[in-house]
Amino acid sequence: MAYDKNSAMLKHSPGSLRVRVFFACFITLTGLFLFSCNKPSIAPSTYSDYNKVLDSANYLYDKDKYEPAVHYLDSATNRYKDLELHQKFLYYEFKCNYFFHRKKDNNKSMLYADSMLNLFDTAEKKLKYMSDYAFSHFSKGDVLFAENKYNEAYQYFYQGKLIAKKDINDCTLSDYSYRMGMIMYQQGHFRLAAANFISSLKEAGACGMNFRSFYRRQELMDNIGLSYGKINEPDSALAFYSQGLNFINTWAGRFNERANLQDVARAVIYGNEADIYIKEKKFQNAKKLLKKSVEINLRKGNDNHDAGLTELKLAHIYFSINEPDSAINLLRVIRPLLDSINDAEADTDWNLLMANYFIKNGDAKTGLNYFIKYDALKDTVVKRNKGLKEADITEQINRLERENEFDALKKDNQQQYLYLKISIVFGLMLLVIFLLILLNWRKSKRNIKTLGALNQQINDQNNNLGSALNELKLSSQEKDRILRTVAHDLRNPIGGIASLTAAIANDGFTAEQMEMINLIKETSNNSLELINEILEVTNNGATLLNKELVEINALLNHSVELLRFKAAEKGQEIKLELLNKPVELLISKEKIWRVLSNLISNAIKFSPPGAFIYVNITEQDNEVIISVKDNGIGIPQKIKNKVFNVFTEAKRSGTAGEKSFGLGLSISKQIIESHQGKIWLESSAEHGTTFYVKLAKGVSS
């Protein structure tokens, strides 16, 4: 809403009261739109563009170009299809203020006040935009008050107050207290008016210091002074006038671009200070202040209306100090000004002064004509103010307070009744829960007994199972001991048989005899190899590892070199790829050598003649991975998971008929896992089998 510089303060002239109410919540400051009352924030993408429109409209309005401002705002607003609620509120508020203050068209003002209220059609909007919602009530109350519908106006003012209290917004409450002060002043309840103006001044501190807040606060200080002046407390009145002037001077530098309005505010206070001195018959002091006030407000663009009212006060002083010629000259000068402002109370006072002048100067006929005009105007003013004077605003407010308390008590009773019903339901639920707990407790006791019996059975079974496991462990250990004993006892005689057959193989036997001897030799060697593997399996779990730092490249190269002759017997070739740098592992050299030899031997055994065998070692983080790949017959899918088992059934003969006892991979798995490593395979009939061994690094060099 634009600031209306001609509607800012209470102004007092002798014998009459000029009250002009300032109901704006926004003020422009050289084209800059300033917000007060803690308005909700708007998204910059939608707010900033429309803010410029409001900016320009308020700038025109502030330059007294009211119609161009409204026309510009209407045409610009038509281009915006999706305004935010707060933006719509600002538009309606501008139009409401224009028709209320400038056009004096209460009907259109009411339409826009209703439009503001209709924006808040949901509880969510009322809660989100409380300040706007409260101010909408104030705006409608203003229009109703102007239509002399005082009871309805008070209800809207009071509703706005309740909303502001919910919002905990003293800035909005300041607008309510301001209105109550203005109404009390117009009714002649000056002490109550002063109290409301003081409350509004305190509450206005929550609005922040923009130009609107600055101008309102100095106005409130002046209005408090006016109220105290009416109840004959001149010291208090002068103190607040002085406070208002000091306040203007203190903050003036912050609003230099509005220096003319600051001068207008000072001029109004000077005129009101003069009233105190007039009552005390200090006419020279009063005349000095009045002339100072008139000199300011007669300037172009300042408050000429107030200048006319102030000159009426000056005319009263001229009559009081017996300078009638000065008085009549002044009255004739200000007549055109009074015609332009159309103020009934000022006209009444002017005609009374003119009547007194002509009667005192012996021209009773002319004086009577002026007195008749005075009397008619006075009746009009009295009639206009009669409804307001007779309205008991205090009783109305008390009634609204009682109604609000009654509604609150009614709601509280309803809430208490609801709480009572909830308590009863909650009590019944507690009773049901208690009964359920009791039933469950009894059931739990039975279940605990049953569970105890079951636990005892489980414990007995666990004990029996533990005993069985211990016996099984002892049996397994006994089996290993017997197996080692048998294997050890068989190794010597079978080894002797192998040696004897080797010794007599060249003693001139017949071909048939040599075939039998070679068969005995081969059988003895195979049996001896089986015995050695059995001894390895039975001893591997119980033997402690003798770990040492071993350079893995050297160990792998040594294993390959020892087996190259065996591969050469089948026309095979071993391809070895080592690490680029030496890497040491903390391992048992003999055990890992056995694993590598076993894997390479298996690759030779199950690869066809002339095939390549690939042995490779790579680094991966803190580990090395050794792979042995053949191009052999592969391992069928159904036996892949069995090749690492002890005495596995997944044993097959080599490509040249080599025997397989199924113990080598089991031994290798035990050795690798004892080193916290991992061994696995990948195999297919088309590409052969690759065994992988992963071991942790020791110390790199």
Of 478 and 582, the structure prediction assigns the larger pLDDT to: 582
d(C-alpha 343, C-alpha 18), whole Å: 9
What the block records as the tokens of 440 is 């469950």
Q: Check pLDDT > 50 for residue 256.
A: yes
Percent of the chain clearing pLDDT 70 (strictly above): 78
DSSP-derived 3-state class of residue 64: coil
Most confident of 466-475, 490-499, 601-610: 601-610
Q: What pLDDT, on a 0 to 100 scale, did the predictor assign at position 507?
A: 65
Among 272, 271, 308, 307, which Cα is nearest to 290's? 271
- For 339-353, b/e burial (b = at least 16 CB within 10 A) is eebebebbbbbbbbb
SS3 362: coil
Closest CA to 357 of 314, 323, 307, 309: 323
**String of DSSP letters for 204-261:** GGGG-SSHHHHHHHHHHHHHHHHHHHHTT-HHHHHHHHHHHHHHHHHHGGGGGGGHHH
The helix or strand, by DSSP H or E, that contains position 694, with its residue range, turns out to be strand 688-696
CB 365 within 8 A of CB 354: no
Q: What is the band of 28 on the pLDDT scale with cuts at 50, 70, 90? A: very low
Residue 122, H or E segment: none
Tell me: pLDDT of 575 over 80.
yes
d(CA 403, CA 117) in angstroms, rounded, equals 22
Neighbours of 556 (CB within 10 A): 24
Residue 84 neighbours by CB distance under 10 Å: 16
Q: Amino acid identity of 464?
A: N
Q: How far apart are CA 242 and CA 484, in angstroms?
A: 119
pTM metric for this prediction? 0.53
- The domains of the chain, with CATH numbers, are 39-167 (1.25.40), 548-696 (3.30.565.10)
The pLDDT score that the predictor gives to residue 504 is 72
β-pair type (548-551, 16-19):
unpaired
Evaluate the CA torsion angle 389, 393, 395, 400 in order and state its sign: positive
- What is the enclosing helix (H) or strand (E) of 626? strand 623-629
The predicted pLDDT at position 386 comes to 66
The encoded tokens of residue 354 equal 């003119």
Q: Quick one: pLDDT at residue 651?
A: 56
- The SS3 assignment for 690 reads strand
Pairwise CA distance, residues 394 & 398, whole Å: 6
- Distance between CA atoms of 436 and 318, rounded to whole angstroms? 98
Q: Give the tens place of pLDDT for each residue, 399-421.
A: 666 666 666 666 667 778 788 88
| pLDDT greater than 80 at residue 496 | no
Question: What DSSP string describes 289-339?
Answer: HHHHHHHHHTSTTS-HHHHHHHHHHHHHHHHHTT-HHHHHHHHHHHHHHHH
Question: What whole-number distance in Å separates Cα of residue 229 and Cα of residue 234?
Answer: 5
Given a cut of 60, whether residue 648 has pLDDT beyond it is no
Q: What pLDDT is recorded for position 303?
A: 82
Phi, psi of 51 (to 5 degrees): -60, -35
The predicted-structure confidence for 413-452, as pLDDT tens digits, reads as follows 777 878 888 888 888 898 899 899 988 888 888 888 888 8
**Residue-level pLDDT at 4:** 39
Amino acid in position 251:
W
Compute the half-sphere exposure of residue 166: CA atoms within 13 Å on the CB side of its CA. Answer: 15
- Whole-angstrom Cα distance, residue 481 to residue 338? 133
Which tens digit of pLDDT belongs to each residue from 206-224?
Answer: 888 888 889 999 999 999 9
Residue 383: band (very low, low, confident or very high) from pLDDT cuts 50, 70, 90: confident
The gap from C-alpha 390 to its chain's centroid, in whole angstroms, comes to 54
Alpha carbon distance 425, 148 (integer Å): 53
pLDDT digits (tens, 9 = 90+) for 360-372: 888 989 989 999 9
User: Which pLDDT value is given to residue 331?
Assistant: 92
Q: What is the mean pLDDT of the chain?
A: 81
Res. 158: pLDDT tops 60: yes
- Helix (H) or strand (E) holding 418, with range, is helix 393-504
d(CA 418, CA 40): 35
pLDDT at 23: 31
State pLDDT tens for residues 302-351. 888 888 889 999 999 999 999 999 999 999 998 988 888 778 888 899 99
Q: Do residues 388 and 17 lie in contact, with contact meaning Cβ atoms separated by under 8 Å?
A: no
Q: What is the pLDDT of residues 468-488, one digit of tens each?
A: 777 777 766 666 666 666 655
Amino acid at position 71, single letter? H
Q: Has residue 32 got a pLDDT over 70?
A: no
Q: Is the pLDDT of residue 15 over 70?
A: no
**What's the DSSP call for residue 36?**
-
Please tell me the predicted confidence (pLDDT) of residue 36: 36
CB 39 within 8 A of CB 130: no
Alpha carbon distance 506, 495 (integer Å):
19
What secondary structure, in 3-state letters, does 440-480 show?
HHHHHHHHHHHHHHHHHHHHHHHHHHHHHHHHHHHHHHHHH
Share of the chain above pLDDT 90, in %: 33
Give the SS3 label for residue 18: strand
**Token pair listed for 77:** 């607003």
d(CA 194, CA 240): 11
Task: Please give the biggest Cα pair distance in the chain.
Answer: 185
How do residues 171-201 score in pLDDT, each as one tens digit?
Answer: 888 888 898 888 888 888 899 899 999 999 9
For residue 578, give both structure tokens: 């080592």
Query: Can you say whether residue 34 is alpha, beta or left, with left for phi > 0 and alpha for psi between -120 and 50 degrees?
Result: beta
